[in-house]
Structure 1
Amino acid sequence: MRGLQLPLLQVALRCTKDLDLIRCAGDLGHAVSPTGSRHGPDGVHGIQVDGYPVYSMATPTVDGAREVLSYLGCKDATGRDIIQKVVITDLREEVVVYIKGTPFVLRELDQPVDTLKHVGISGPMVENIEARLKEDILSEVKQLEGRLLLHQEEFNTATNQCSVLGYWEHIDLEDVMTPAEVYSTLRDQGSSRYYLFISHTGYGGVAYAMAITCLRLGADAKFVMEQTAETHFVSSSLTKSVSVKTFTDIALRQGDYRDILNLTRALIHGPKSKEEVDKVIDRCVGAGDLREDILQYRKALRDCSHDDDDEARSYLMDMGTKALSSYLI
């Protein structure tokens, strides 16, 4: 599962001029762990939001996905076999194709470990590209008489460097699948209970989606409907013991931006609502911290000198604004 840094990526290069396939790190370690740490099925790495049936994981192998589904819904509290419905939301913004049950991603040939940026790309567009990529791979396998050139990335801990080693793999046509085809083979029926988010690169997006789901589940269970007039503030004793800069950083880490505070004052039970949102964000911190994202982009933008290119400044401004908008919404 996701919500944590991916282990070492493994590389697989296609026989094309300028694009290659990067192998998503095989069986992604172990663990299905909440914000504390709890181990789950082998072959999967990820998190569970403490107190909620909401999970997140990295792009899994097919076997890893089966393990997760078994882990989430194979038995009830008495140990009886049951079938639960798992609501899967794939938040990838990077094209993935499965080869022999292992996910691969498309990359630039001269930058095999750098993610291709498709920020904001729609799900149907990703699936369309994946279907075309599958066709390209099958065509290539036929041309090469059932073989595909793959490359394995190996990390040297002594030198802290990566090397890429190539090898030929024999591929059958049925060995190549799109994620949509993988999901269709794993689909279960039953009552809704678990919410599973998949993302290879959309770190902040996963945290955002998980927080929204938790808030919705909490609202449905009347967890966040308490009537209160509590106000969110930083204690005065704290302000006396820290510098203005430190106090500002503390306030911003708590999400106390001017626009946010103006909104909470305008809403009925606004401060309490913000408090509940912040609690959920804290529970989803393994998948990313929306407030920290805002602060990091803010600092990076301030650190930009006038000599930096406009594209870099524009990128930081855009990403920071999106992070703030996600928190605001």
Structure 2
Amino acid sequence: MKNKLNQAYMTDILDLLLRTPSPTGYTHHIMQKVQAEVVKLGYELAFTNKGCGIVTIPGVKSDRVIGISAHVDTLGAMVRSIKENGTLKITSLGGFMMGAIENEYVQIHTRDERIYDGTILTSRPSVHVYEDAREFKRDEANMEVRIDEIVKSKKDVQALGIRVGDYISFDPRVQIKDNGFVKSRHLDDKASVASLFGLLRLLKDVNLKPSYTVKVFFSNYEEVGHGSSFIPDDITEFIAVDMGALGDDLSGSERDVSICAKDSSGPYDYQMTSKMIELAEKLEIGYAVDIFPRYSSDASAALRGGRDIRAALVGPGVHASHSMERTHMDAVSHTAALLAAYVMEPAEA
């Protein structure tokens, strides 16, 4: 089954997703693209009240329903206030270091769908002008957006239609290399969404029916903690597909699928996690088991929301999460292969 995955398709989908701005709370455009691709594959996409998408795939048996989630929302910012000099103060959407977005190109999305370009800088951006430019603290209070329009005052900015509460998306700077590496912002979690599309495409291409009913859940508020606080009532076990963190005291890599045994919300289901490890070893899928103490997932949100489910967490390894991220298409493929193996496990008698 691993060899029947269409990696070129997943690469194209990932490129499309990465180039579509979707800071958390501003995901209607990307969900339209998700819906169009779901329909193209021959499925239907239902929506929750807050805009999450659900694809239902009937299984051989329906007494067990497996939910699989990945999130389309990303880090971003919002206009906090307009300064008298015509720059914008920001407030963060999601948890990232201010140093990770300094000097980043951005787009400002107004409520009437106008888009303006800009750059995030400190309010002391030049060593030639400010003696303390190097040591100046990088925090929200000291960051601002320089707008690429002729603006010299707050009134000039307001005349453009920019208001407090407008969304700011970061330039993803997507690069997909011939050797399989992908460099971009927002691989958390669009690399996982590409894996889900790889799974959906595989089931259609090979005409497979999962052993049990599967509900693929596209979450749109994960970065602020409540993406899957609601999931369909009939889901009995839930797999959050989210990026695997890499670094010191961790064993994953950019070419592996990470299987998380525990994160900040506690341990994941023993049987589900053990089955993931067993399948990865049996099918020779590149994997690593890790613990993420500063991390939570859509499964965490569902459990905090009071859902009576078993839960697991897997996903492609991503280096420098919440900064300038990098993964490899092997990790995306390995994630899709592991998900396919899990949903195709023979139904219990």
Q: TM-score surpassing 0.5?
A: no
The structure whose Rg is larger is 1
User: TM-score, normalized by length of structure 1?
Assistant: 0.27
Q: Which has the higher strand share?
A: 2
Q: Which has the higher helix share?
A: 1
- RCO (CA 8 Å, sep 6+): is it higher in 1 or 2? 2
User: TM-score, normalized by length of structure 2?
Assistant: 0.26
